[in-house]
Amino acid sequence: MPTKNGSGRGSGSTATTNPPGNQTPNTPDINESEIARLKVDQLRDRLRRRGVTGTADMRKDDLVKALVKAMKDGAKKGTSARAGGSSGSGSSRSGSSAKKTTSSSANPPGNQTPNTPDVNESEIARLKVDELRSRLRARGVAGTADMQKAELVKALVKRLTDDSGASSSRSGGGGGVRKGPQNSKSIKYAQEVTSVDDEPERPGRSLVTTDHEVIRRWAEARKGVPTTVDGTEHDGHAGVLRFDFPSNGREQRLREISWEEWFRTFDERRLNFIYQEERSDGKQSNFFRLESPDREDG
């Protein structure tokens, strides 16, 4: 039974210390070979989730290196946090503490709804009544004036859970139009775009989508920057969403925000993105509009 490869290099101890495909010591969860097999869009998506911006012009090798670095940095922070919180307490944990740790691994603290990592019920329950009503109104939920706090919390959790499920469906190839009582004729007659592979039927065609990658590519192709209108923010959240295009001259009222915040707000408000790729004369178009199917004011 051979134990060495052609170069005479042993294979036992190295694999135990450092898993195959992982060229970064002490980071067993970071497999560079596996990361290198990801597609460019997947690499950009994972980097965006970690708050890394400016990936549009990066080549695949650069994207791989950036993702490995971001994951290493995240692993270091996680290790430091765990070390700081558990020093000297390893041998004193009770059986109930061990169960709590196991449970939190499967479901983050404060989240009692499986498969909805962005819906933190404990955090929602700490909101004030006015904040709960404001967030429900922003999601098109009416009739909150006579609701008690417990009812408001349940209603907001349900709406967030429903939106999270819709978002998960879109990430699997969706991007479908959001429907509601205030859907306009613009949406009714627009061509629905559900992925970056969809092409307009003709120049000047009105398009509509909720797909994050479609929107991001459209904006970045025009050097658009995700922004919010300064002064419209509320409850610590982005206000009116816009893109700042250099061809229009940088607008002072617009404040740049991350793609993550832009899309989080876009999804929370259940917006549709109505836009054009080209004008009817074939020239690139910067036209877009954000519209909510739940509210007349979008």
Q: Is residue 103's pLDDT more than 50?
A: no
- Look at residue 209 in the predicted model and tell me its pLDDT: 94
- Look at residue 100 in the predicted model and tell me its pLDDT: 42
- Look at residue 171 in the predicted model and tell me its pLDDT: 42
What would the mean pLDDT of 75-92 be, rounded to a whole number? Answer: 52
- Look at residue 227 in the predicted model and tell me its pLDDT: 93
Q: What is this structure's pTM? A: 0.44
- Look at residue 220 in the predicted model and tell me its pLDDT: 93
Contact predicate 116/161, CB 8 Å: yes
What would the mean pLDDT of 38-66 be, rounded to a whole number? Answer: 83
Q: What angle do CA 210, 55, 27 make, to 5 degrees?
A: 105
193 vs 158: which has the higher pLDDT: 193
| 185's tokens | 């004729």
Q: Is residue 232's pLDDT more than 50?
A: yes
What distance in Å separates the CA atoms of residue 263 and residue 167, rounded to the nearest whole number?
A: 11
- Look at residue 13 in the predicted model and tell me its pLDDT: 42
For residue range 3-49, what is the model confidence (pLDDT) as tens digits?
Answer: 444 444 444 444 444 445 555 555 556 778 888 888 887 888 788 77
- Look at residue 135 in the predicted model and tell me its pLDDT: 83
- Look at residue 84 in the predicted model and tell me its pLDDT: 54
121-171 matches 12-79 in CATH topology: yes
What distance in Å separates the CA atoms of residue 238 and residue 241, rounded to the nearest whole number?
A: 7
CATH number for the domain whose boundaries are 12-79: 1.10.720
Q: Is residue 203's pLDDT more than 50?
A: yes
For the chain, give the mean pLDDT: 75
For residue range 132-168, what is the model confidence (pLDDT) as tens digits?
Answer: 888 887 676 878 888 999 999 998 888 777 665 554 4
Domain ranges of the chain: 12-79, 121-171, 185-291
65 vs 185: which has the higher pLDDT: 65
- Look at residue 5 in the predicted model and tell me its pLDDT: 46
231 vs 16: which has the higher pLDDT: 231
Which residues have a Cβ under 8 Å from the Cβ of 40 and sit 6 or more positions away?
Answer: 60, 63
Range 121-171: architecture per CATH: Orthogonal Bundle (1.10)
